[in-house]
Amino acid sequence: MKAIRFHKTGGLEVLQFDDIDIQKPKESEVLFKVNAFALNQADILFINGMHYTQPNFPSRIGSEATGKVIEVGDKVTKFKKGDKVTSIPFYTREYGVQGEYATVPEQYLTNVPNSYTVEEATSFWMQYLTAYYALFKLGKVKKGDYVFIPATSGTAGQGALKIAKDAGAIVIGSTRTQRKKECIQNLGADVVIVTKEENTLEKLKEITGHKGIKFVFDPIGSTEFNQQYMDALSFGGSAAIYGLLSGEFPTFPLLDLVRKNTNLYAYSMFNHVMNKNQLQEGVSYVLERIQKGKLKPLVDNVFDFKDTVEAYKYMLSNKQMGKIVVRIDH
């Protein structure tokens, strides 16, 4: 089989197509033929050596894929040959799904929702579970709370927007320029701040009537930016930083956090899905809302397998408004 791998950390130049043996499933694993896989910003951190998951070389890459089951291990009970499955991202240095075949532990697979296309089915677990645990396990978000979601056009931001609105929160989104503002509004944001044109801190205070933000879901991780929204947090509010789109390791206004009794979380959904009970809780929540038609991922663009690196270049251009998917024609 062919698989995307890298043999050292670096930029996109380290990615290559390798011919490798198909990984036979162990007793609790499932082997499936990959029809499509999705790209994530976390993949870039991983190949750069900046993700908290560190690679074992040569390393496969990727955590979201959809396909048809080829073989199952002796202890697998949920799936059989021919089932259509989609993978749930989890903390691992052993597994990767970007290739013609993937082998994944049974617990990190579900059946493909009947209402979803192949592209949609490979695009929802990362964004919805990342948002779910942050909003409810950390932020304790409930009806009427003000929630601020910077970089809302990102897939995790879109997931957080949908889930926060479903919980009855008042959602404030942000984007750097006017180009994506209308799309974020159409997705359901109550207010959208254009950060290059408006003062984020002043707008947050104005929108909340100086009551403050209950929870911030931040993929940017910029010292300058987070100090703006932290001053707009309510007493007892909190923020979760789950990405480093800024490219920097931020510092924080410690005394301000103490004065407002606020909580700051360095967050990853992987720390929650490794807990069996929390994994099942999050999966049940997402699948229930999919069945009710409340959650459906937005797919921006689809690339061929041979163009995987080009797909990543497109992702880094920040032109997308939704998930980027790679299809594999066997």
- The residue extents of the domains of the chain are 2-124+296-327, 127-270
Give CA–CA dist 234/123, Å, rounded.
33
Nearest alpha carbon to residue 180 among 198, 161, 165, 193: 193
Note the CATH number of domain 2-124+296-327. Answer: 3.90.180.10
Walk along the chain (330 residues) and give the pLDDT tens digit of each residue.
999 999 999 999 999 999 999 999 999 999 999 999 999 988 998 898 877 778 889 999 999 999 999 999 999 999 999 999 999 999 888 899 999 999 999 999 999 999 899 999 999 999 999 999 999 999 999 999 999 999 898 889 999 999 999 999 999 999 988 888 988 999 999 999 998 889 989 999 999 998 899 999 998 877 776 677 888 899 999 999 887 666 677 777 777 788 888 888 888 899 999 999 999 999 999 999 999 999 999 999 999 999 999 999 999 988 888 899 999 998
Pick the CATH number of 127-270 from 3.40.50.720, 3.40.50.80, 3.30.460.10, 3.30.9.80: 3.40.50.720
The answer for 93, left when phi > 0, alpha when psi is -120 to 50, beta otherwise, is alpha
